[in-house]
Chain A
């Protein structure tokens, strides 16, 4: 619909870029911190068999005990790594 950039076209284009849900934006902003937490947890699980076993047995409980408050995406990724077969 390219054409003259008059007020009508501008109004249409302003309507196109609507705000993303605030929770999504916040989670995206927290990605670096989430990635760091992920790397930390994985490194620890590799070095500590007991911790790894706890993650496999009950992921959320094990993370909560260690003081982590992971995002859903992080939990999903950890579950993929450590879920019981």
Chain B
């Protein structure tokens, strides 16, 4: 559901959070929860309990250290670094030495690049029709079946795959237009 805050740039949102606007904080969490979740679970492959601790610690540090962000337009890279730091601290505190081949610097850097590109794509999705947004998120990010998508959105099940293809084409055109 789009709200006025969902159209704010990161810099505008950060400023609103600093001003103590509760809804701005909610929007910031909503906007970046998947990004942080991806870094801790896929980038650093933390087990579930550690991943939850890391997730909460990241947002705690964001909340308490937002004033230290020098460039409000650079919130995302700041958040990525902060998240990386939290994960490494957690791994070190647990006394675990990660084998180099398991979480190599190259692996996490490559993963972070993917997460950044994925974030850009996700922002572009928010400019598609509501129906496309739902179908793309449900099929690709939530692993829902065509039947579930069809029942929940009230669309004929035999048309879902084609609709998803058309949504992807629209998204591709949109992203190409932004280059």
Contacts and interface: CB of A to CB of B under 8 A. Distances in A.
Report if A and B touch in the complex (beta carbons < 8 A). yes
A6 to B, nearest CB: 6
Contact count band on B: 35 or more
Given A2-B113, A16-B42, A10 B175 contact: yes
A32 B30 CA distance: 15
Contact count band on A: 20 to 34
Contact of B115 (A16, A27, A35): A16
B34 A19 contact: yes
Contact of A31 (B60, B110, B114): B60
Interface of A: 1-2, 5-7, 10-11, 13-21, 24-25, 27-29, 31-32, 35, 73
14 contacts: A1-B114, A5-B172, A7-B168, A10-B171, A17-B115, A17-B119, A17-B122, A19-B34, A19-B141, A24-B52, A28-B56, A29-B29, A31-B56, A32-B63
